[in-house]
Amino acid sequence: YSNRIAEGKFNLEGQEYTLAVNNGVNHIHGGLKGFDKVVWDAKTILNDSTVSLELSYLSKDMEEGYPGNLKAKVTYTLNNEDELSVIYEATTDKPTIVNLTQHSYFNLTADFNQDILGHEIVINANSYLPVDDTLIPTGEFREVNKTPFDFRKSKAIGKQINDENAQLEIGNGYDHCWVLNDQDKGLRFVASAYEAVSGRLLEVYSDKPGIQFYTGNFLDGTLPTKSKGTYQIRTGFCLETQHYPNSPNQDNFPSVILNPGNKYKSKTVFRLSTLY
């Protein structure tokens, strides 16, 4: 389960399950050895206009405290239109909870020594999920109108990130889930990022109900880059399409329960282009 689950606990069919507490008092990103830390079976699929990487993994019953033998598959496909699509699939033999996403850090300057505060962001959402002081959603759906969380029109990340705002202070910036519009339309435009100097534009399309916009507030210089440096605060941002954090403990959030005989399937597309 990507993102946070309060106190590492959830109930399913009358049984309480206990997960690792690895983010303060909460559970995050699947536990001590989440899906980002396991070895997946991989194969490539080559077609005339696409190339795909298909990743498969069997998460055995009670791995990291989650019930069910979960067969998960993630397929990354790059096409000739500069689109990277990500398809998530899963099946289970026992009722369980599933919320899969990716946590890629973007910096459209292509230089992770530069911060991302000048990037202009659009998020197609009229509301977001305010959080408590441990970054767990309170259950409220709060309107973005007249707040620093309004990205319905293009706005630089840095324009209001340091405003006096209780929610920004809790997250040390943006680290919240937005409630995406048009959830009944399936795959649709949900967000974009633009960097004016390079002209690079990233557009995001998804069928998920939420998107976690995170501005690298906890990057502290300890994570190494590919160029022998380290990632500093706010040198990368994330647009994580997903279900809402702590959904198993919030009756008013969309269900994340997967039952035997059903299939979890979701798609997100990252479309890259340049504007000059």
Measured distance CA(129)–CA(145) in Å, rounded: 13
Catalytic residue among 64, 120, 195, 240: 240
On whether the CB atoms of residues 123 and 211 are closer than 8 A, the answer is: yes
* Active-site annotation holds for 240: yes
Q: What are the tokens at 154?
A: 């293009």
Q: Residue 197, Cβ neighbours under 10 Å: how many?
A: 9
* Active-site annotation holds for 83: no
Any idea which residue has 């409630």 for tokens? 179
Return the beta strands (E) in the chain as ranges.
Answer: 4-5, 9-12, 15-18, 27-28, 41-46, 50-59, 70-79, 83-92, 96-97, 120-123, 125-129, 142-143, 155-156, 175-180, 188-195, 200-206, 210-214, 238-242, 257-258, 264-274
Catalytic residue among 103, 140, 169, 195: 103
Q: How far is CA 250 from CA 145, 148, 253, in A?
A: 24, 25, 6
What residues form DSSP beta bridges with 10? 17
Residues belonging to the active site:
103, 240
